[in-house]
Amino acid sequence: MSGLEDLYREIILDHYRSPRNRGELASPPAHRVEGFNPLCGDEIVVYIDVDDPAKGDDAVVTDIRIGGQGCSISQSSASMMSAAVKGRNVGEIRDLTRAFKAMMSIHEEGLEGGEAEAPTDVTELKLGDLEALRGVVKFPVRIKCATLSWNTLAQGLDEAAAEV
Ligand code: ZN
């Protein structure tokens, strides 16, 4: 098990040291959204380009950039999120968001002794590097660090859709 935890730590550190999709996009046309986690002081700025918000769940996030600063968990999670959603459509991204949050909350419930079950429709999704954040749930105060970028992204997608 410690081998797996070492691997997870390596993945998190790699994204922290070499963040993917770091930077800004011209806004407009990109949508710019800020997220803040007051518990830890993490700030995330998400820029997304959506090809055609009128397409709803079929609209594609053609580009994404991440700004902000904060702890290693918040920044590496944002980097992983950006790599995972770039080029995907809104429907896929919402599924991925649910799967990621399920991974976090399942373990949260597990800590309290409950036998939590993941919703079947999201457990089959491949989370890839995002799996590395599994270990975060051992530190419940850090879960908000890990989910900050996802919540910020969701807000951006909602705003983009609302402008149609
Ligand atoms: Zn944090």
What integer pLDDT is reported at residue 65 of this predicted model?
Answer: 98
> Which distant-in-sequence residues (6+ apart) come within 8 Å of 155 by Cβ?
33, 35
Question: How far away, in angstroms, is 146 Cα from ligand 1 center?
Answer: 7
Question: How far away, in angstroms, is 131 Cα from ligand 1 center?
Answer: 18
pLDDT digits (tens, 9 = 90+) for 14-24: 999 999 999 99
Q: Report, as an integer, the average pLDDT of 84-108.
A: 89
If you count DSSP H runs as helices and E runs as strands, how many of each does the chain have, helices first?
5, 3
Please tell me the total count of domains within the chain. 1
Strand order in the sheet with 31-37: 31-37, 42-50, 61-69
Question: How far away, in angstroms, is 83 Cα from ligand 1 center?
Answer: 20
What integer pLDDT is reported at residue 1 of this predicted model?
Answer: 53
**pLDDT confidence band for 116 (50 / 70 / 90):** very low
What domain range includes position 136? Answer: 3-162
What integer pLDDT is reported at residue 44 of this predicted model?
Answer: 98
What integer pLDDT is reported at residue 127 of this predicted model?
Answer: 86
**pLDDT confidence band for 48 (50 / 70 / 90):** very high
Of the candidates 80, 71, 66, the one whose C-alpha atom is nearest the C-alpha of residue 139 is 71
pLDDT digits (tens, 9 = 90+) for 128-162: 899 999 888 888 889 999 999 999 999 999 999 99
What integer pLDDT is reported at residue 142 of this predicted model?
Answer: 92
Provide the β-strand partners of residue 44. 35, 68
**pLDDT confidence band for 123 (50 / 70 / 90):** low
What integer pLDDT is reported at residue 109 of this predicted model?
Answer: 52
Question: How far away, in angstroms, is 97 Cα from ligand 1 center?
Answer: 19
Question: How far away, in angstroms, is 65 Cα from ligand 1 center?
Answer: 19
Question: How far away, in angstroms, is 57 Cα from ligand 1 center?
Answer: 30
pLDDT at 113 over 50: no
Ion ligand 1 nearby residues (CB, 5 A): 40, 42, 71, 74, 145
pTM here?
A: 0.87
**88/90 Cα distance (integer angstroms):** 7
Domain of 31, CATH number, reads 3.90.1010.10
**pLDDT confidence band for 120 (50 / 70 / 90):** very low
Question: How far away, in angstroms, is 72 Cα from ligand 1 center?
Answer: 7
Of the candidates 96, 140, 143, 138, the one whose C-alpha atom is nearest the C-alpha of residue 121 is 96
